[in-house]
Amino acid sequence: MSGLRRKRRPASWAAWTARLCVFLFLVGLAAFAGEDIRAISLDETLAAVLKNNRQLKLMEAALDLSRISEESARDGRRPVLRPAAGAQSADDQTAMQAGIGFAQKTAIGTEVGLGLSAGRTELKDGARIYQDAALVELRQPLLRRFGTLVNLEAERLAGSRTRAAMRELESKKADLVLDTVERYEMLLRLQSRAERARDAVKRLDGLCRLLAVRERQGRASRLDVLRAEIQLGAARFREASLEEEARACRAGIAEQAGWDPGVAWVAGPSPRFTAELPSAESVIATCLSNRLDYAQVLQDRADRERGVAVASRGSWPDIDLVWRYQERGQDAAASGALTLDENTWFVGISAGSSWPSYGERRALQSAIIERQSADLRVAALAAVISRQAHESLSECRRVRSQLELSEKTYRLARERLVLARKLFEMGRADSFSVAEAEDELQEAEGQWLEAVSGETVAVYRLMHVMGTLLDHPPELKPPAAAR
């Protein structure tokens, strides 16, 4: 990715410390519960998705079918042997014949044919006549079907379909990677929020106990106790909800990666991006050099341009030059027929076109319209790419600024809660100030965790827009001449 590098360094000490604490808590909880819970990194998850995803396997099977079709398109230019045999019986004679033929078509349309045959005829009086023959035939298209433009078009189109299937597979891989990153970051966020909800439950449980004691002492009202108990119930509900959401998110990732949904695992800290963002011009240039959908519309346009050239040949005369040479031998003895003492040759022209060529004219008009449509699709996608590049950069800048602000707000909210509890324990503040500080801390934590994961997702989305999320084969990228 131009201008962006992934570094194993947290965006801030608070982000790294928070995720590390959550990770250690989950591992320790698993050890205490006797479960074997493994921490799986983002790179391990992505590798498993690319290897085991069932949708990718189905698309790989479709790609194999496209490759088979491409090989079938080349069968017309491969050499072919054609054995032949026959027998015929009439009132006065019985004839038998066997032979073998060889045929091959070249890239410019030349058809070469060779044939050898041997036969025997038995007359009613018992006499036998042997016939042997050798044949050479050349058929060369002269105008409409001459050259590689026409004769290799079917192979080129089959190759284009194979490359389209390959681009579709690679694009699906990139989509799955981005979707997995979004799910993984959501799981990290849910794990962190669940851990903080457990901490809040502990704090509020301690607050309820303290208020219950003070109520009996006459130092707190029933209203204070009820408010604290309501907050405690809400915190427990939030903890249970977050754990269920994390379990569902974990199951979704396991399905994409082909894992057993019953296997226990937790998400480990994900990488952070700290490099400077590239300019919009650099992002657009990278998109035009790497986007597979842009390469596909360029390939479609090239196919349509060739289609116009092929269709324009339809108005040309369909003429073939034919040359044939044959040697034959016939004798009452088999050895005498092998002398092949008779020969004939033929040179001629065959025409297969009709006039006027209404169908060919309509085919040319359709090919021209398809080429114009392909030009429009290229221009439209280029405009979409420019818009997506600016939007992705704007999102990255926005989430980075939000991360700085939310981290500062989160740190201040923690300090305020600590101070409010101290003042409450000293009798210099009431329980409402503690409850209010607890609510603000929950809100600040949620915003900060959202910003932490949002930065990673935004950078991955930018890489997805640029076409650099995965290393694609060079032959699938846009050609350098069209960038």
Q: Are 157 and 422 in contact (CB under 8 A)?
A: no
Each as own residue / partner, the long-range contacts of residues 399-403 (CB below 8 Å, 24 or more positions apart, any chain) are 399/451, 399/454, 399/455, 399/458, 400/455, 402/447, 402/451, 402/454, 403/11, 403/12, 403/448, 403/451, 403/452, 403/454, 403/455
Residues lower than pLDDT 70 in the chain: 1-36, 353-356, 481-483
How far apart are alpha carbons 50 and 46 in whole angstroms? 6
How far apart are alpha carbons 407 and 248 in whole angstroms? 28
How far apart are alpha carbons 10 and 17 in whole angstroms? 9
How far apart are alpha carbons 129 and 478 in whole angstroms? 67
Summarize pLDDT for 360-386 with one digit per residue, the tens.
889 999 999 999 999 999 999 999 999
* Amino acid, res. 137: E
Whole-number pLDDT of residue 25: 47
Whole-number pLDDT of residue 27: 45
Summarize pLDDT for 19-36 with one digit per residue, the tens.
545 444 444 444 434 456
How far, CA to CA in Å, does 5 sit from each of 8, 188, 272, 325, 459?
A: 10, 22, 10, 70, 10
Which pairing describes strands 111-123 and 128-141: parallel, antiparallel, or unpaired?
antiparallel
Q: Are 64 and 181 in contact (CB under 8 A)?
A: no
Q: Are 323 and 137 in contact (CB under 8 A)?
A: yes
How far apart are alpha carbons 277 and 7 in whole angstroms? 14
Whole-number pLDDT of residue 290: 95
Whole-number pLDDT of residue 128: 87
Supply angle C-alpha 400, 173, 168, rounded to 5. Answer: 120
Place of tokens 């579709």: 168
Backbone angles phi, psi at 133, to 5 degrees: -150, 150
Question: Domain-by-domain residue ranges, the chain?
Answer: 6-73+151-310+359-482, 83-105+110-144+320-352
CATH class of 6-73+151-310+359-482: mainly alpha
